[in-house]
Amino acid sequence: MAFRTGSNGRYILRSTDPFLTGALAPKGRMPKSSLVPVEDATPPSKPQMGRPRSADVDRRIFKETLDVVSERGFSGVTVNEICERAGISRATFYRRYPSPAEALAEAINEAFEFHALPHSQDPVEYLLEFAQSIERSYSDPRIAPAIGFMIGEYKAKPDVYQGLQNGLRERRAHVRSALEKMGTLPRQKDQPLDIDEVLVILSSLAWNASVTKRKLDADVLRTIISRLIR
């Protein structure tokens, strides 16, 4: 991690985690729908035909896509091999994803899903759970290479990389929402950190732990988190 001074004199965090260096602007809120006269309303769409999407098939696609990328590199990924390993047809794959790149992006986002509910009203313990979850995701030896390949494909497939960033924003919004339900976080008097900056720091620590193979100590993490938010 590195810090630089912004125009307002505050320190701005630069993460060493390659997955966290993209744009982090929060997602805009969707406008509330307005009522329209019955005669102007759009007719309801027809119900979708066919079987519902199988979560098990998605999991198999994610697993095999990550496996192939870790074994052969992104240039060696083919839909045929993913389908053969996952035991599905090409049609099943293409109903979900236009190419292996989209499947890989979703597989990475799925690996970082964090839906844990607060076990207490203590934000320190909740953020500890978040950091440990990120560390577990990075400990998967397939994840870091997959992220590297996706960053390498940024110029060729910017929309796919944007999908990774959208997943990142959604996870942060989930954590922020959980913390807000606990009440207002105590803020530092000098150089207060936004919660997104706190999450960047924790994610960077998890990334560093995966690179150095040094597991994060829970007590040390608690101390760091406490000093960041109080």
Integer Cα distance of 9 and 214 in angstroms: 34
Task: Name the more confident of 107 and 28.
Answer: 107
Q: What is the pLDDT of residue 64?
A: 96
Please check the confidence at residue 27 and state whether its pLDDT lies above 90: no
Read off the tokens for 29: 């809120």
Report the b/e string of 121-147 with b at 16+ CB within 10 A.
eebbebbbbbbbbbbebbeeebbbebb
Which tens digits make up the pLDDT trace of 172-222? 888 888 888 887 565 555 656 688 889 999 999 999 998 888 999 999 999
**For the CA atoms of 202, 203, 205, 209, what is the dihedral angle to 10 degrees?**
140
User: pLDDT over 90 for what percent of the chain?
Assistant: 39
What residue type is 82 in one-letter code?
I
Estimate the share of the chain in helix, then strand, then coil, as percent rounded to the nearest 5.
Answer: 60, 5, 35
- In the prediction, which pLDDT does 8 show? 42
Give the pTM: 0.70
Q: H or E segment at 96? A: helix 90-96
| Predicted pLDDT at 90 | 96
Give whole-number Cα distances, 79 to 53, 153, 227, in Å.
Answer: 19, 17, 48
CA pair distance 91, 54, nearest whole angstrom: 14
Query: For the residues 125-139, what does the mean pLDDT come to?
Result: 92
The one-letter amino acid code at 48 reads: Q
* For range 74-95, the mean pLDDT: 93
Please report, rounded to a whole number, the percentage of residues in the chain having pLDDT higher than 70: 73
pLDDT > 70? residue 13: no
Write down the pLDDT at residue 41.
34
Residue 64's closest CA among 36, 92, 25? Answer: 92
Contacts of 26 (CB under 8 A, 6+ apart): 169, 173, 196
Residue 85: the pLDDT is 96
pLDDT attached to residue 46: 40
Instruction: Give the domains, in start order, of the chain with CATH numbers.
Output: 54-111 (1.10.10.60), 115-230 (no CATH)
